[in-house]
Amino acid sequence: MSQEAGPPRGYSKDALEMLARSNVSIGDRIMVHTRDSEMSGTLMPRYESADKKHIVIKLDSGYNIGIKISKIESIYKAGLHPYNESSTKVPHIAVGGIKGSLEPKLEKLQRPSLVEEDNLSLPKIALISTGGTIASKIDYRTGGVKSSLSAVELYETVPELAEYARIEPEVLMNEYSENLNPHHWGLIARRIFEKLNSEEYRGVIISHGTDTMHYSASALSFALQNLPIPVVLVGAQRSSDRPSSDAALNLIGATLFAVKSNFTGVYVAMHAGTSDDIIACHIGTRVRKNHTSRRDAFESIDTKPVAIVKGKNVIVQDSWSGREETQKIPESDIKHSRFLIKPDFDSKAALLKFYPGFDPGLISYVVSSGHRAIVLEGTGLGHVSRDCFPEIRKAMDAGLLVFMTSQCIWGRTGMTVYDTGRDLLDIGVIPLYDMLPETALVKVMWVLANSTSLEVAKSLMQKNIAHEISPVSPII
């Protein structure tokens, strides 16, 4: 996809008139003077439903900012000082283009060129859009957010990406992630597999709703075996057309991580903190959405992110080197292990969170409705009350696999410490160590669809496949 500097898309009335007079186009680096301030950034496109009283520029911090037209005194293309001979300070009129001898000096300020002939040397990245906030805009009619931006539009709003990679965007689906299910995981896995088998990519970026992004990251971690490249899921906690959107920086971070690091496998790239300058790259099976709204909602659990992206730098974290020996796939293995896809999931597995007063009938329901496995989210080291024991026994007798994780989220199950844990082990409950409950559920669904017997399924569940079980000694 390439983008022509065109008319200011999405702007209308006063804004359109002003931009036309100023001779600036979408994607131009511009400077805006208001009564109180001076700002420089990239002029962003707007959407039909956006209000008519603002223009939006993307600041160097990655933030988009809306500026009220009535407050604007002048707009200039960046690099052209208003008092240069080639410009004249006239309110609402910007002047000239960037050309000739000015260019080298202004390199940093120029709008990065998009995918063009001379960018063929850049690594190629597939950007697959599945929907979610990162692909959303505010519906100014209802005040809510609707999922509707395509990968193409996304790419247009973050032109910086073209500095680092040739991005090939495509829209695979358009769903909020709460509506994605195991069937969709398979679709996404298959699409990645197709693309990687048809062309050479340096990496794949999946734009995704954040609600269940960690579930999907786990699913792809199991479905795509011996991935030769990084697959990076990226989302946004604020829609892309809002001034405070984290979409741009997350996308840039995901791209830099894919292009500049040597990691293979599935990762999630999102803000590392509330400041708008660091992106954390989390292992797909070890990450969780731990805040409803903060931009740094995603956290690595019981490990650190494998890398952080700060500015243009990808900094590999110590935690990874500590895990490297046992967990990172050595370069030699990557070459020799064949890239495989196992995209099937059996959704007949249930996750049940235990609590005081829990009705053991929930277990009976799961058994009677044809489920093949239960992931219990127990308390502490992996416990449920003793009045659940009879129903768990019946589930076993009916041929279900029953697994134990902890609702504590952090830490490992430790089922030999207390009577309750030992009793559950005696009944046949299978501990899953430090596997996150969400990851455990996804893995069970995958294992059920890819095992020839319950014994194989059980053994696969207790074996580390994609960093979902840490190789540390069990706690006592």
Q: By CB under 8 A, what part of segment 143-182 binds a second copy? A: 143-147, 176-182
Distances (CA, A) of 332 to 231, 267, 335, 338, 418: 19, 21, 5, 12, 44
Alpha helices (H) along 23-162? 102-105, 151-157
Residues 6+ apart with CB under 8 A from 474: 412, 414, 433
Compose the 402-421 pattern: x for residues touching a second copy by CB under 8 A, - for all others: ----x-xxxxxxx-xxxxxx
Residue 124 is among the residues annotated as catalytic for this protein? no
Backbone φ and ψ for 328, nearest 5 degrees, come out as -75, 135
In this structure, what are the phi and psi dihedrals at residue 246, rounded to the nearest 5 degrees? -95, 5
Counting contacts by CB under 8 A, is residue 343 touching a second copy? no
Query: Least CB distance from residue 456 to a second copy, whole Å?
Result: 21
- 276-295 positions binding a second copy, by CB under 8 A: 289-294
Active site residue: 28, 211, 241, 246, which one? 211
The least distance separating a second copy from the CB of residue 14, rounded to whole angstroms, comes to 26
From the list 58, 77, 137, 289, the catalytic residue is 289
Residues of span 209-248 touching a second copy by CB under 8 A: 210-212, 215-216
Structural element, H or E, at residue 456: helix 454-461
The two three-digit tokens of residue 7, written as one number: 């008319």
Touching a second copy, residues 62-121 (CB under 8 A): none
Residues in the chain: 476
Output 180 or 249, the one with its CB closest to a second copy.
180
- Residue 130 in contact with a second copy, rule: CB under 8 A: no
Tell me, by CB under 8 A, how many residues bind a second copy: 77
Active-site residue, from 210, 264, 413, 420: 210
Nearer to a second copy, 60 or 387 (CB): 387
What's 473's DSSP letter? P
Taking the least distance from each CB to a second copy, the nearer of 19 and 373 is 373
Nearest distance in Å: CB 372, a second copy: 12
210 catalytic, yes or no?
A: yes
Q: Where are the beta strands (DSSP E) in 108-165?
A: 124-129, 136-138, 145-147
Residue 467 as a binder of a second copy (CB under 8 A): the answer is no
CA distance 382 to 378: 5
Stretch that binds a second copy, among 31-39, 62-70, 365-373, 458-466 (CB under 8 A): 365-373
Say how far apart CA 382 and CA 386 lie, in whole Å: 13
Contact indicator for 216, 224 with CB cutoff of 8 Å: no
Between 238 and 328, whose beta carbon lies closer to a second copy? Answer: 238
Q: Which residues are known catalytic residues?
A: 133, 210-211, 289
